[in-house]
């Protein structure tokens, strides 16, 4: 596997590959790789001639400086995992390469960034859009792969691609979970053993809400989830929403054949975790 750190080098390498007719698949990450990332990389390796993974802990999308400092960095292990799934190129730039100067451009995504992650993490999606836009320019992929766990982020990137006319196909894959239901996440590495035992309650809460969809009003479902998590005594709920799966706007009512997204964010100790499931009430 080729490891590239310089923006100029990755640009030249990608231009050469594109000119030779190679199809390029791209998986952008912040490292601390897990099976969810590997699923995306395997898919890219199957569907493209060349697979590129980026590892860059992006400072502009952290609204909490401590969260940025504590984000797990495991480059040696990550390189071994990338090689095991047939990744061709790792792009691992330093911050001064990516941000030659402090970015002044501000993105606005309208209602999409005023709810859930956007509401609770001001400036987060502006940072996401900035780095994804830069990476798309650097790597020039034909396809880019994202996981469903970051559902709102995928929606933001989709809007970015449409608005700025990036010539890239977005591919979204379902969330990969541990055996106990916990959504795989790089942040899971920060959980201590006791917190790790508690963390699957986020998924349990989503399943509880799913069972009540179509049977109880939304306000009652939200109250049930809040009470369930409060009963653990170890989880601080930030939000739980029943939302439209396309716009991610909160729903006050759910129709009998409606598709919905159940989205949650909570703190287990000092570690903030998110999760979601998509539900089609017309199925089953």
Binding-site residues from annotation for beta-alanine: 61
Residue 50 forms beta bridges with which residues? 24
| Annotated catalytic residue 37 | yes
- Which segments are annotated as binding site for ATP? 30-37, 147-150, 176, 184-187
> Quick one: residue 34, left, alpha or beta (phi over 0 = left, psi -120 to 50 = alpha)?
beta
Q: Order of strands across the sheet with 89-91? A: 2-4, 89-91, 50-55, 24-29, 143-147, 169-173
Residues 6+ apart with CB under 8 A from 73: 31, 32, 57
Binding-site members are 30-37, 61, 147-150, 153, 176, 184-187
C-alpha–C-alpha distance, residues 26 and 40, integer Å: 9
Among 37, 137, 142, 204, the one annotated catalytic: 37
Catalytic residues: 37
């Amino acid at each position: 596997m080729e490891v590239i750190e310089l923006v100029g080098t990755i640009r030249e390498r990608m231009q050469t590959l594109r000119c030779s007719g190679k199809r390029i698949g791209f998986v952008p990450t912040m490292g601390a790789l897990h099976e969810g990332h590997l699923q995306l990389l395997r898919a890219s390796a199957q569907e493209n001639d060349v697979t590129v993974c980026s590892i860059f802990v992006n400072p502009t999308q952290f609204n909490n400086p401590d969260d940025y400092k504590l984000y797990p960095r495991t480059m040696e292990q990550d390189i071994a995992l990338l090689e095991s799934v047939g990744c061709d190129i790792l792009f691992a730039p330093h911050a001064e390469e990516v941000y030659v100067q402090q970015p002044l451009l501000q993105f606005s995504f309208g209602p999409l960034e005023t709810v859930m992650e956007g509401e609770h993490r001001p400036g987060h999606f502006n940072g996401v859009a900035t780095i994804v836009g830069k990476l798309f320019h650097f790597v020039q992929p034909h396809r880019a792969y994202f996981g469903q766990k970051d559902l709102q982020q995928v929606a933001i990137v989709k809007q970015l691609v449409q608005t700025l006319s990036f010539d890239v196909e977005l591919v979204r894959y379902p969330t990969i979970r541990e055996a106990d239901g916990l959504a795989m996440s790089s942040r899971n590495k920060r959980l201590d053993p006791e917190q790790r035992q508690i963390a699957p309650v986020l998924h349990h809460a989503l399943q509880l809400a799913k069972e009540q969809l179509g049977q109880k009003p939304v306000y009652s479902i939200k109250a049930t989830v809040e009470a369930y998590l409060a009963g653990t005594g170890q989880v601080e709920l930030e939000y739980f929403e029943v939302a439209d799966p396309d716009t991610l706007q909160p729903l006050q009512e759910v129709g009998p054949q409606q598709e919905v997204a159940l989205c949650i964010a909570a703190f287990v100790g000092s570690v903030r975790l998110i999760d979601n499931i998509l539900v089609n009430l017309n199925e089953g």
